[in-house]
């Protein structure tokens, strides 16, 4: 067993865990960050991509709303390349009360959120697909964000400051000495070996799986898991974040995200954080509610659906049947105070918009426990690779493609072969799905039909492996794409699915590859997409 000693061990490679590791490393503390799969492969990479202004939360929790608008400004400075400054409109559809806008304005002003009334004609001119029957419109500083890019850049920053950052290192044991947590044992899935990490403080930032890590330490955390399901359209129908003018509810927003629009999301209580299926009722609710905002969405080509699970802390007993009323405020649990177990801290709740702030507060607590006085600097220093004061813009991939030399590997998302080759040689990339999170490979309308076999060939060339592993990687990638398409497949998307089937079944002979593979390094079964098997 490989053994490592450090000051702080952070469990969880989502936005918050990566942020904690970066903050601690920047303060000069020896830090190890471990993630059970790829960076941002959990809830961080499965949310709708909204950078909140806080207007949604101002109606119920002024403190949370104030945190959102403050962090909104900070994230724009430290990661501008991860953010598209779309702006946002809060509109009253024919089903909403326009007078409610007065209360929204009052709440936003109390939280320090810029908000202004705008003429309906202006909204309809800028957003021609918005319901022409809207009766009031307010503008707020919402935006959209690329959580994959932001998390990877945060991890790189932590590494640059000396932190050890390891993905595909699931924690299997929490090490204890009496009533003190002293580290954890992980499994390095890529080398198939155990790693023991000794630490003075262990941070449980496992997101929706925070309860599972707590259980390993002998602690039961009071959690409510809420599943949010979303649908992506095959084209972009709005340029700004569009939200309903009503009390916060599910399925009340549509926002642009790169080349698609994201509709949703639902808010359903589930029993465990691994719930990932989208049922028919959720899909119908998303379609019906979002059509009230943008009627054309009912007729669009539905690209795929996905879910993310939030772990919420029941601060109040308000939500026995629904998570809508639960606070989105984060909770930092010092188990030395709560459970009498020292050296262990858990993070519950929060939002992507406030992940940097949460990380700062956790790092402050760690410094207090280690008797270290070192200020936070994450709000001052931009993430590596970020352009100076330059937001992402929608046509950026096309502009890069027009000026580059070499060929495109993914035409849908305008990804060059050189970019794929560069990423494959990255030590953090271990399969095609990791490559997707790093580059958006296969996230366009063809859903991997044309680019996945090309990427698989490059991966196999640059990372020599036996044919069984190469096949397993390709089929696993296709199966995951199929899994998101199937619940919403209709119209032109069915044609695309049929074309993909012909490519992999008739042209590439995928029928001969049918079977269940187990890639030992990834520890997950993979199989041929259902259309291929049929």
Q: What secondary structure does DSSP assign to 267-329, as a single string? A: -EEESSTT--PPPHHHHHHHHHHHHHH-GGGGGSPEEEEEEEEEEE--SSTT-SS-STTS---
Domain definitions of the chain by residue range: 83-144+224-312, 396-533
Q: Which helix H or strand E contains 254, and what residues bound it?
A: strand 253-257
- Predicted local confidence at residue 404, as pLDDT: 75
Cα–Cα distance measured from residue 14 to residue 282, given in angstroms and rounded to the nearest whole number:
26
Segment 77-96 shows an average pLDDT of 97
pLDDT level of residue 323 (50, 70, 90 thresholds): low
Question: How much of the chain, in percent, has pLDDT values that exceed 90?
Answer: 76
Inform me whether the pLDDT recorded for 326 exceeds 90: no
Q: What are the tens digits of pLDDT across the range 54-73? A: 999 999 999 999 999 999 99
- What are the distances in angstroms from CA 508 to CA 357, 445, 525? 49, 21, 21
Q: Residue 365's pLDDT band (boundaries 50, 70, 90)?
A: very high
Element (H, E) at 160: helix 147-160
SS3 content of the chain, % helix, strand, coil (to 5): 40, 20, 40
pLDDT confidence tier of residue 516, bands split at 50, 70 and 90: very low
pLDDT band at 24 (very low <50, low <70, confident <90, very high): very high
Strand partners, 89: 139, 242
Q: Are 326 and 184 in contact (CB under 8 A)?
A: no
* Mean pLDDT, all residues of the chain: 91
pLDDT band for position 407 (50/70/90)?
confident
The pLDDT confidence band at residue 509, using thresholds 50, 70 and 90, is confident
SS3 119: coil
Model pLDDT, residue 389: 67
- Does position 325 have pLDDT exceeding 70, yes or no? no
Closest C-alpha to 315, from 328, 300, 302: 328
Q: Residues 374-384: pLDDT tens digits? A: 999 999 999 99
Q: What is the pLDDT of residues 235-267, one digit of tens each?
A: 999 999 999 999 999 999 999 999 999 999 999
Residue 511: predicted pLDDT: 63
83-144+224-312 fold: D-Amino Acid Oxidase; Chain A, domain 2 (3.30.9)
pLDDT the model gives residue 379: 98
Tens-digit pLDDT profile for residues 449-493: 999 999 999 999 998 887 778 888 888 898 899 899 999 988 888
Quote the CA–CA distance of 214 and 366 in Å, as a whole number.
18
* Helices 467-485, 492-501: inter-axial angle, 10-degree rounding: 170
What per-residue confidence (pLDDT) applies to 519? 38
Report the DSSP beta bridge partners of residue 204: 11, 346
* 517-528 mean pLDDT: 34
């Amino acid at each position: 067993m490989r053994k490592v000693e450090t000051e702080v061990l952070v469990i969880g490679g989502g936005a918050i865990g990566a942020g904690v590791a970066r903050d601690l490393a920047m303060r000069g503390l020896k830090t190890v960050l471990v993630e059970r799969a790829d960076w941002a492969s959990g809830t961080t990479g499965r949310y709708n991509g909204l950078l909140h202004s806080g207007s949604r939360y101002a109606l119920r929790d002024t403190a949370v709303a104030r945190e959102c608008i403050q962090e909104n400004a900070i994230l724009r400075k430290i990661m501008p390349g991860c953010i598209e400054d779309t702006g946002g409109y809060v509109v009253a559809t024919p089903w909403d009360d326009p007078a409610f806008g007065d209360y929204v304005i009052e709440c936003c002003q109390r939280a320090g959120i810029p908000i202004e009334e705008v003429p309906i004609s202006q909204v309809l001119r800028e957003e021609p697909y918005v319901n022409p029957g809207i009766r009031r419109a307010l503008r707020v500083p919402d935006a959209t964000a690329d959580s994959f890019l932001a998390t990877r850049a945060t991890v790189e920053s932590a590494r640059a400051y000396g932190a050890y950052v390891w993905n595909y290192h699931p924690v299997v044991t929490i090490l204890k000495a009496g009533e003190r947590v002293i580290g954890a044992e992980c499994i390095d899935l890529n080398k198939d070996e155990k790693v023991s990490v000794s630490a003075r403080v262990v941070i449980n930032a496992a997101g929706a799986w925070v309860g599972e890590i707590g259980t390993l330490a002998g602690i039961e955390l009071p959690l409510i898991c809420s599943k949010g399901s979303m649908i992506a359209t095959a084209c972009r129908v709005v340029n700004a974040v569009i939200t309903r003018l009503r009390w916060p509810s599910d399925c009340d927003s549509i926002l642009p995200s790169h080349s698609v629009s994201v509709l949703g999301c639902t808010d359903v209580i589930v029993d465990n954080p691994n719930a990932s299926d989208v049922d028919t009722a959720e899909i119908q609710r998303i379609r019906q509610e979002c059509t009230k905002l943008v009627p054309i969405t009912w007729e669009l080509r539905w690209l795929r659906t996905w879910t993310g699970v939030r772990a919420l802390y029941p601060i109040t007993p308000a939500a026995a049947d629904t998570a809508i009323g639960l606070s989105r405020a984060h909770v930092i649990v010092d188990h030395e105070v709560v459970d009498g177990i020292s050296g262990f801290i858990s993070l519950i709740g929060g939002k992507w918009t406030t992940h940097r702030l949460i990380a700062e507060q956790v790092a402050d607590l760690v410094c207090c426990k280690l008797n270290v006085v070192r200020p936070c600097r994450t709000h001052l220093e931009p993430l590596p690779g970020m352009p100076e004061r330059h937001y992402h813009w929608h046509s950026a991939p096309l502009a890069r493609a027009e000026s580059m030399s070499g060929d495109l590997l993914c035409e849908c998302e305008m990804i060059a072969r050189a970019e794929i080759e560069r990423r494959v040689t990255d030590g953090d990339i271990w399969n095609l799905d990791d490559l997707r999170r790093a580059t958006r490979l296969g996230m366009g309308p063809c859903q991997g039909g044309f680019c996945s076999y090309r990427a698989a060939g490059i991966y196999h060339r640059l990372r020599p492996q036996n044919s069984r592993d190469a096949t397993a990687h390709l089929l696993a990638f296709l199966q995951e794409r199929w899994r998101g398409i199937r619940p919403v497949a209709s119209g032109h998307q069915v044609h695309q699915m049929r074309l993909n089937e012909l490519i992999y079944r008739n042209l590439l002979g995928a029928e001969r590859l049918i079977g269940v593979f187990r890639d030992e390094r990834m520890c997950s079964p993979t199989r041929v997409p259902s259309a291929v098997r049929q």
